[in-house]
Amino acid sequence: MSLYRLSRNTDQYGLLTFSGDLLRKSLGRRAFMSLSSLTVYIGDKWPECHAWFDDLDGDIEITARPDVYIWNYTILSLSPRAKSVLGDQLLILGEFLPFQCGGEEWYLFVPHSVVEADESVSEHRIENGLMMGTNRLGFRSENVGTNMLFKTNYDKHANLYCSESFKSLVDRHQLSGLNFETDLAKAVD
């Protein structure tokens, strides 16, 4: 079973940026601060909003938008093309939230699927008695099951993981924006 940790290419696409004040006011402070770990639906509170790809203080020149990208660690942003390719497969795993980007309707996908790590092969990085990350991370195939996209409590929802079936779908349709890392325990980008 091949699994991957998803990462974004900020050197090419920058950061997907929303107005934090609008989201915080609409969702409430608690929901806004815990967006990456949500496992409940929030669509009824989701506002009409706009986002853009920020060039990180002018350090890069953004010439294209990605099809699929990571926002807020464990949330995917999907272009209209990516939503048409991935939408049906992801629908049972979480919630789609619409937003405007470059004059088009894009979607955030908030995954609700959480898979428990295999603690016999996983290890936290402890510094001065505090959990500071993960040295090793693994999952049992029976725990992953049919979850093609998931997060885990083991790293406190700091990353998004996927199965080979998700990677194959992205590759087959040549959707840009994601890196598929085989080191599941690497620090967040």
Q: Give the model confidence (pLDDT) of 108-124 as tens digits.
A: 999 999 999 999 999 99
Percent of the chain with pLDDT over 70: 98
How far, in Å, CA of 181 to CA of 161, rounded? 9
CB hemisphere CA count around 179 (13 angstroms): 15
Q: Give the model confidence (pLDDT) of 25-53 as tens digits.
A: 888 888 887 777 777 888 888 999 999 99
Q: What are phi and psi of 178, to 5 degrees?
A: -110, 145
Q: What is the DSSP letter of 13?
A: H
Query: Could you tell me if 118 and 138 are in contact, meaning their C-beta atoms sit under 8 angstroms apart?
Result: yes
